[in-house]
Amino acid sequence: MKRALFIGSGTIAGVAAVLAYAPTNFGSSPQSSPSALPGTGGSTTPVTGTTSTSTPNQTKTPAASTASKTATGRSYSACGYGNVQVRITVVNGVVTRAAAVSYPNGDPRSQFINKQAIPWLQQQTLTAKNSSKISGVGGATCTSGAWTSSLQSALTTAGL
């Protein structure tokens, strides 16, 4: 009986410790202000297509040309919690910006999870070298999966 009591209380303490764990950034913040997350309205209205802008070539050298393209991926369901849609900006063939057009934030738990997950997904997208092969975020599996799918759609739309 005493053994069962120790095992049960140890299990409960271990589970409580895991649930209370809040990951740290180890000095590198993917975004300085979590309140500045794009798409905080939770809109799932798809914005499709690409737009291209370029600056005039002033010096007639290839290095002076800057072609910028914005592409928005399709909207994907995050396990029924809401939809995730990603918009990327590509400059000279490199993804330079990733933003969430929409993501689940209708309930307090989704807001809490995605307030932390979206900046990490954005950072992973920028370091993925024009690929949708990102690690995702633990605890935000549904958002991560939908982000990856929408990112791949945006990369395809951008021609990468």
Averaged pLDDT score across all residues of the chain: 73
| Residue 40 CB contacts under 8 Å (≥ 6 apart), including other chains | 105
Identify whether 12 is part of a domain. no
For residues 29-54, give the mean pLDDT: 40
- The model's pLDDT over 5-15, given as tens digits with 9 standing for 90+, comes to 778 888 888 77
- Beta strands in 11-144, from DSSP E residues, in sequence order: 50-54, 67-72, 76-77, 83-91, 94-102
Q: Does residue 44 have a pLDDT over 70?
A: no
Residue 143 domain flag: yes
Q: Is residue 3 part of a domain?
A: no
Q: What are the beta bridge partners of residue 77?
A: 83
pTM (2 d.p.)? 0.59
| CATH code of the domain covering residue 106 | 3.90.1010.20
Domain annotation covers residue 13: no
Provide the residue range defining the domain that includes 115. Answer: 67-160
Count of the separate structural domains present in the chain: 1
User: Is pLDDT larger for residue 95 or for residue 47?
Assistant: 95
| Residue 87 pLDDT | 92
